[in-house]
Amino acid sequence: MVQPSGILWVGPVGDIGGYGNASRNLLRALQHIELPLYVLNIGQIDAEIGEEDIDLLLNIMLSRRDLGDHPVLIIHSTPETFVGIKKDGFIKKIGITVFETDRIPLHWASMCNDMDEVWVPSQFNYRTFTESGVDPSKVHVIHYPIDVGQYVQPFDPYPFPSEVKSFKFLYTLAFDFRKGLDLLIPSYCEEFSNAEDVSLIVKIYVPGGISQESVSELVSSYIPDKENNPHIHFILEKTPRKDLLSLYSSSSCYVSTERACGWGMPQIEMMAMGKPVISVNWGGGTEFMNDKNAFLIEPEPELEWVNSELQRARPVHYFRHKWAKVSKQNVMKTMREAFENHKKREEIALQAKLDIANKFSTQMIAEQIKARLFV
């Protein structure tokens, strides 16, 4: 095969969400490979991503380096983007994408098969993509990396209100029905009481087109109507990257009840920081989480239908899909263990920090990428 002379990267690199965050880490990995790189950004560059990430993108986007006679095209986005980009003149066309349920949307298979290769971050997605009609010879597992150095430094304390208690469970999410707040909040309220020194911190990114008031009203409706509910603190305002890392560092334990998770960027970030993490034992996150480096919420043996509201609102992507069925009892049991077992928290957090640094750093993933580009 002709060796690549440069890379054109296409995708939402400046987005605050999952694709943007993963893109910037992948671009950092590519900097370890000596190939000219140019980025075509889809969308805006969100100020919330922070100065370090903005500088990274501007340095790449303004470089205008010659990609040579044998460039590679890499598109990191949903497969709908794969078909909208002109692909002439590239020696290899690679799509990078991810999905979180037990299958991919029906129309994605043909879009993926139109590429020379499709990179997914986990064995979970290797199965869901190939079982949904994507040619197995095209699908390769390339992990999402993490810039470990960002997380092993001192951070300023987060300015919590005075009513926030000593032990802080943290969940950060872009509001969506699959994130499981309807599971987490009742489980937490049933397991703990206001007599205990514990708070649940819920940081919600509110998507455009939805008001903070409507989101606040909905998530508040998940709080049981009973006495002695434990303390909950919601953060709905925009949070710059610097403040988000401070929030991570100032929290005691991360918790996610996301029933369908394509990867789990907050989980891997908290693990890199040396923080204990609670997450559901299903989906893409099982690529880097296990019972030695995380508190795992065991799902039921059988899957369940995706939330009906999500199927109704986004049928093209979620109609007749399934995800993990998770009981309140298992959420409650796992949160209680993480709260009370200080020794296990320390052991899990230390193992997590080591595992992420040793297996998912930008340098490690650069080697995976290089092996595919120069195959």
Domains annotated for the chain, with CATH where assigned, are: 6-145+361-373 (3.40.50.11930), 150-359 (3.40.50.2000)
pLDDT at 208: 73
pLDDT tens digit at each of 375 positions of the chain: 689 999 999 999 988 888 999 999 999 999 999 899 999 998 888 888 888 888 888 888 877 678 999 999 999 999 999 998 888 899 999 999 999 999 999 999 999 999 999 999 999 999 999 999 999 999 999 999 999 999 999 999 999 999 999 999 999 998 888 899 999 999 999 999 999 999 999 999 887 777 888 888 888 999 999 899 999 999 998 888 899 999 999 999 999 999 999 999 999 999 999 999 999 999 999 999 999 999 999 999 999 999 998 999 999 999 999 999 999 999 999 999 999 999 999 999 999 999 999 999 999 999 999 999 998
Instruction: Name which of 233, 235, 217 is nearest 169 in CA terms.
Output: 233
pLDDT at 58: 86
**Tokens found for residue 40:** 């075509």
C-alpha 9/C-alpha 37 separation (Å) is 7
pLDDT at 118: 98
pLDDT at 318: 95
